[in-house]
Structure 1
Amino acid sequence: MTAGSGSALGRFVGRLAAVGTVLGAALIVVPAWYVRKVSDDRMKSVDEVPAQPVALVLGAEVYADGQPSRYLRARLDIARELFDAGKVEAILVSGDGTRHYNETGGMRDYLIAHGVPAHRIAGDYAGFDTYDSCVRARKIFGATRVIVVSQSYHLPRALTICLAIGLDAWGVGDDTVRSNQEMWSYGTLRELGANLKMMWDLLSRRRPVLGPHDDSLDRALQS
């Protein structure tokens, strides 16, 4: 190989690397920009959010003793505030509910212990991720208008999913746990990758675990 051909190969590899870097950055930046554009005017405070029939509380870690983690407690406290303020009539708690790990049961128990009537709470035990929770709220529980509750860095993706599948959604986000800067930063960065999964789920119309209609939310709204 001559010196000239080696130099040409080096330039080609350099350009290829540059193109790869730009494309990689676009894969991260474009979905992040898109979810913000879609959701920004849909994120409100408890006082400002329009009243909707249902609060959809997205699950997070529950400890072995059934107690919700700090992040999940913050979400549940917002849902209780929405209920007490008359902004919602019922609460749908959605998470991973299995024999050995039950986010949904812990969420229900916490709300009941903090004054929300049991008959106003419905539980989705197959909300294994954000996409599943949103799709199942629409298709299995029949929700059409909701206030989504999660940490504020998570809301843009959750609201984008809801709106894309025909669920009229607003969001109230929690910032109280931001004091744990390490965990907050981790959650924020994690969303960049989760946005890519969201795009795949929406474009492929992935079907989560479904089943027959669950009328527990209907009963919670009618009670």
Structure 2
Amino acid sequence: MKVLKKIFFIGLIFFGISVLFIFWSNFKINAESEDYVTSELSKLPNEKTGLLLGTSKTLSNGAPNAYFFNRIFAAANLYKSGKVQNIIVSGDNSKKDYNEPEEMKNELVKAGVPADKIFEDFAGFRTLDSVIRAKEVFGQNSYIIISQRFHNERAVYLARKHGIEAFGYNAEDVNKYAGLKTNAREKLARAKVFWDFMFGVEPKFGGDKVLIP
């Protein structure tokens, strides 16, 4: 019985520390990124390139993914405003029949962005991969990230910690009930940011340099 109590007590301490770490991670990322993310075009600098972060075009039930289409609308709006001249579409292409960058490019072209101004990054498996590869592979030391605010905050934080002058343009979010699972997952993803820092995690793939004129 004493052993069980000891195990329970240790588990309780570990749980408490984990919860505190998650809260601290979220607070720190919010605090350090808030000056660089916005929903207003007028508050953004002019940059050569935008970085559109990928997500699936459809939900598991086959319905359109509002996160995806809201990001497409925001990216097209950013380009048409003249704030960026090019857009990197970065996402997952790990399966033969799943290609986020291609889907994003196709939708951006439909939205009026010229195809020759869109550059595909097929190895943006994680936000970390996308923000670092935009610098290391595509040669961009500063850029505007396009995603929902909760995602932009983490992406901008990551980019700036890697010496990139990044800003975030916030796409419209989905309603809080539809996005409940995504927002809960984001809390854990922010804690993982610091885990990756501690262990020096780098992008999964490098690649040949891509010139953006």
Tell me if both proteins adopt one fold, taking TM over 0.5 as the criterion: yes
Rounded to whole Å, the distance in 2 between the matches of 1:94 and 1:68 is 19
Q: Which runs of 5+ in 2 are unaligned?
A: none
Contact 1:60 1:103 in 2 (8 A): yes
TM-score scaled by structure 1?
Answer: 0.84
Q: Which runs of 5+ in 1 are unaligned?
A: none
Shift of 1:49: 1.3
Q: CA RMSD in A?
A: 2.3
Question: 1:114 — aligned with what?
Answer: 111
**Closer/same/farther in 2, CA of residues 100 and 205 from structure 1, 3 Å limit:** same
**Closer/same/farther in 2, CA of residues 75 and 69 from structure 1, 3 Å limit:** same
Q: Which amino acid aligns with 1:195?
A: R
Rounded to whole Å, the distance in 2 between the matches of 1:17 and 1:176 is 36
Question: 1:144 — aligned with what?
Answer: 141
Q: Which amino acid aligns with 1:200?
A: W
Q: Which amino acid aligns with 1:175?
A: E
Q: Which has the larger radius of gyration?
A: 1
Task: Give the counterpart of 2:26 among 26, 32, 36.
Answer: 32
Task: Give the counterpart of 1:59 among 49, 54, 67.
Answer: 54
Pairing 1:1-223 to 2, within 5 Å after superposition: 16=10, 19-44=13-38, 45-63=40-58, 69-97=65-93, 98-177=95-174, 179=175, 181-208=176-203, 209-215=205-211, 218=212, 222=213
More helix, by proportion: 1
Q: Which amino acid aligns with 1:162?
A: A
Q: What's the secondary structure of 1:123's corresponding residue?
A: strand
Count of residues in Structure 1 that have an aligned counterpart in Structure 2 = 206
Shift of 1:159: 0.8
Q: Which amino acid aligns with 2:183?
A: T
Shift of 1:17: 5.7
